[in-house]
Structure 1
Amino acid sequence: MSARMPKGMTAIRAELEAKSPMICYSGALVVDEEDHPIYSVAMPQEVAMKLCRRVYELNPKISVNIYTNDEWLVKDKKEYWAAQESDITGVIPQEVSFEDEEVYKEVHKVLCMGDKEDIAALEQQLVKEFPQIRIYRSKDTYLEIMSMKASKSDAIHMLKDHFHVKQEEIMAFGDNFNDIDMIRYAGLGVAMGNAADEVKEVADIVTDINDNEGERQILDKYFK
């Protein structure tokens, strides 16, 4: 599970030699073992279009990135923030015209990137103007926007039913605010040692930090 697009996760899945579905965009899209969509929660087209245009009105310096299924759409792939994200994920974005209404047909996530002061100001304004969508900062320079109906816990619930797994058999790890609903839902919710206090408060267990292989410590405890 990740906030990333499917292409940004396949290399990790291959490294783990895992053949399993992937929960992408923090629950807005789930793909099966062959990367075919099996669950999708997109933003309403009109809302996505209005949102992206409003961001540019508020601050033209903000990098606006649109994710639809397994496509990453930008105005300019050489733009600083888009190029940096491409280096991190290993995915090359596709350049499109944001004036084309078809771009907004099935938007799973909008990622706004910029200086932390600009992102903080943008978040404050968008939360006021767009109460019908989910808006949160995944880090100081990243603002992630999705349908209010998209959540990690709902995506896990769908897979639970798909694989006939009991809720109490589910283990989930998290360290950020958008992990809270997932940690609450899981039979065993685990907060990483580097997690925010609000995340630790809802967890059943708090493990060590990422750098000290906190996940592995829990997996060894329960599966060895």
Structure 2
Amino acid sequence: MNYRLIALDVDGTLLNDDHELTEQTIETIQEVHDQGAHIVLCTGRAPDSTLPILQQLGLEGTMITHNGAATVHADERGKTLVNEFSFTLPEIAPMLDYVRTEGIHFDVCTSFNMYIERIGEYEKEMYTKFLVSPKLVTDVSELGLPIVKFTLFSNPEMLDRVQQEWDEQQLYGHLRMIRSGDLFIDVMSAKANKGNALKALAATLEIDPSEIMAIGNYYNDLEMMAFAGLGIAVENSPDGVKEAADAVTASNNDEGVHKALVKYCL
């Protein structure tokens, strides 16, 4: 099959556990790109922390960021917002009260910026790892900006409890809550997911879903893997993700993206 669009999750999929790209993976992606395929990074990251990965691959083009809430085009002229699914800060007021009371770290994101109310060394280390520089404000509620993502960062046990309680209380209302990693919960517009963003991009490029390959590692990748003609999970994915995939490749620490591209594209 000649895949015309390759959608790649970043953390836990494209990057190894040291948040690095291997030279072999870079070379293989460039080869697939040179054969005419669009390479699209589909990530929970913001545009500013996704762009360095795209540049390291020697590419420019469209990035699906914030787990599908913001699609951004990047080239030598800069970054341009293509599409976003946003919501307002009053819509998350009950959740803000909860995380402040419980002392859970959180941030809120517009398409291009991230805002926090406090930060410790543990959080600084996490943001540094993901190439993020959040803006410190007194009260995010006073920003008055459209928001694309509200993220909690804590230990898995705490987030398990949050997930259960917010589900029981439907605290997120008409918004969508997803577990985007062991240490993260994201709240976004109900329309925002990587699958919907990929569908919109494919329509713009006039690419059929059967001509798309998507590779991911977590539950926030399921919609894009389902939309693609071939959805692949890396070996380090949870069992539920691997069961939903069409195929499984090697882990992110064993160049799973490289091996999948060689097998299905080269």
In structure 2, the residue matched to 1:170 is: 212
Question: Structure 1 pair 42/141, CA: closer, same or farther in 2 (3 Å)?
Answer: same
Q: Look up the equivalent residue of 2:241 and give its one-letter code.
A: V
Most deviating of 124-133 and 7-16: 124-133
In structure 2, the residue matched to 1:66 is: 108
Q: C-alpha deviations, 1:181-202, integer Å up to 9, x for none?
A: 1111101111111212222222
Pairing of 1:113-128 with structure 2 (within 5 A): 113-127=153-167, 128=169
Q: C-alpha deviations, 1:88-127, integer Å up to 9, x for none?
A: 1222111112264334x21111111123332222222222
In structure 2, the residue matched to 1:132 is: 174
Q: Look up the equivalent residue of 2:235 and give its one-letter code.
A: G
Verify: 1:95 aligned to 2:139, yes or no: no
Most deviating of 94-103 and 193-202: 94-103
> Which one has more relative contact order, counting CA pairs under 8 Å at least 6 apart?
2
Q: Deviation of residue 205 (structure 1)?
A: 1.3
Most deviating of 138-147 and 35-44: 138-147
Q: Deviation of residue 81 (structure 1)?
A: 4.1
In structure 2, the residue matched to 1:36 is: 80
Q: C-alpha deviations, 1:4-42, integer Å up to 9, x for none?
A: 100111110110011111000110000012321111001
Report the 3-state secondary structure (helix = DSSP H, G, I; strand = E; otherwise coil) of the residue aligned with 1:184: helix
TM-score (norm 1): 0.91
Q: C-alpha deviations, 1:28-66, integer Å up to 9, x for none?
A: 000012321111001233213342233213x0x211111
In structure 2, the residue matched to 1:108 is: 148
Consecutive unaligned residues in structure 1, runs of 5 or more: none
Q: Look up the equivalent residue of 1:121 and give its one-letter code.
A: R
Report the 3-state secondary structure (helix = DSSP H, G, I; strand = E; otherwise coil) of the residue aligned with 2:133: coil
CA distance in 1: counterparts of 2:190 and 2:122, whole angstroms? 26
In structure 2, the residue matched to 1:5 is: 46
TM-score (norm 2): 0.77
- Contact 1:120 / 1:140 at 8 angstroms: preserved in 2? no
Q: Look up the equivalent residue of 2:104 and give its one-letter code.
A: I
- Contact 2:108 / 2:140 at 8 angstroms: preserved in 1? no
Consecutive unaligned residues in structure 2, runs of 5 or more: 1-41
CA distance in 2: counterparts of 1:125 and 1:2, whole angstroms? 26
- Contact 2:72 / 2:82 at 8 angstroms: preserved in 1? yes
Query: How many equivalent residue pairs?
Result: 220
Q: Percent identity?
A: 26
Q: Look up the equivalent residue of 2:97 and give its one-letter code.
A: R
Report the 3-state secondary structure (helix = DSSP H, G, I; strand = E; otherwise coil) of the residue aligned with 1:35: strand
In structure 1, the residue matched to 2:96 is: 52
Pairing of 1:149-188 with structure 2 (within 5 A): 149-188=191-230
Aligned Cα RMSD in Å?
A: 1.7
Report the 3-state secondary structure (helix = DSSP H, G, I; strand = E; otherwise coil) of the residue aligned with 1:145: strand
Task: Give runs of ≥4 in structure 1 deviating > 6 Å.
Answer: none
Report the 3-state secondary structure (helix = DSSP H, G, I; strand = E; otherwise coil) of the residue aligned with 1:36: strand
CA distance in 1: counterparts of 2:177 and 2:141, whole angstroms? 24
CA distance in 1: counterparts of 2:192 and 2:125, whole angstroms? 26
